[in-house]
Amino acid sequence: MIMDGNKRWADLHGVCLKEGYQKGLNKLKEIISVCLEQEIKYLTVYALSAENMKRVSVSTIFDIIIKQSKKIIEEFNFNNNVRVAIIGEKKKIPQIIKKEFLKIEKITQNNKKLKLNIAFNYGTDVEILEIVKQIASSYGNRKKEITQALLKKHMYLYGSPDPDLLIRTGGFQRLSNFILLNISYTEIFFTKTLWPDLSKIELLKIFDKFYKIERKYGL
């Protein structure tokens, strides 16, 4: 799920950017609840792209994470619901943020109902580079056949199935470098609704449309 529209929502409502991001975080909690109700096992969300990592406004996101990490853990961990995994390039993330991410991942690691992958400082091109580096580092000069299985083993979403459905909010009809290695046959839905305004009703309507699709693999 590409969560787009927090800044535009803030501008539209005449509030500060931090309030827009906070509204977006609250919406994520709502969407997770819907996914749990629908017994969806995997949810991958695009929280921050590698390109947007360069923006000054990213400090606002860091501030929210630092101040609300404990509350986020409590909500995700309630009744052993949500296991969190942070995917993306972590070397350039501030140490204090990495520490909070590690804490969230560790505390929720045994939760069973929903696997939540949060793409943070993520870009497909960066992921490809990391895959190549890992394979080169692991095997060095030893001959190793490069297979599809080997590539998948080093992908960020290894252990999670490729998404069946991708939703992008905010009105733009582009994928913005999001998990392109994993969405070859994913059904894609675009909505003009800004992320903070995405309702349970609209989400369930999208699910209903998806369930009626006759899935085909090939042209």
Catalytic center residues: 4, 52
Question: What is the SS3 assignment for 124?
Answer: helix
Determine the Cα–Cα distance for residues 78 and 76; give it in Å rounded to an integer. 6
Determine the Cα–Cα distance for residues 18 and 2; give it in Å rounded to an integer. 19
Q: With contact defined as beta carbons under 8 Å apart, do 40 and 114 qualify?
A: yes
Question: What is the SS3 assignment for 208?
Answer: helix
CA 177 vs CA 61, 81, 88, 110, 186: distances in Å? 20, 29, 12, 30, 15
Determine the Cα–Cα distance for residues 181 and 161; give it in Å rounded to an integer. 12
Q: How crowded is residue 186: how many other Cβ atoms within 10 Å of its Cβ?
A: 14
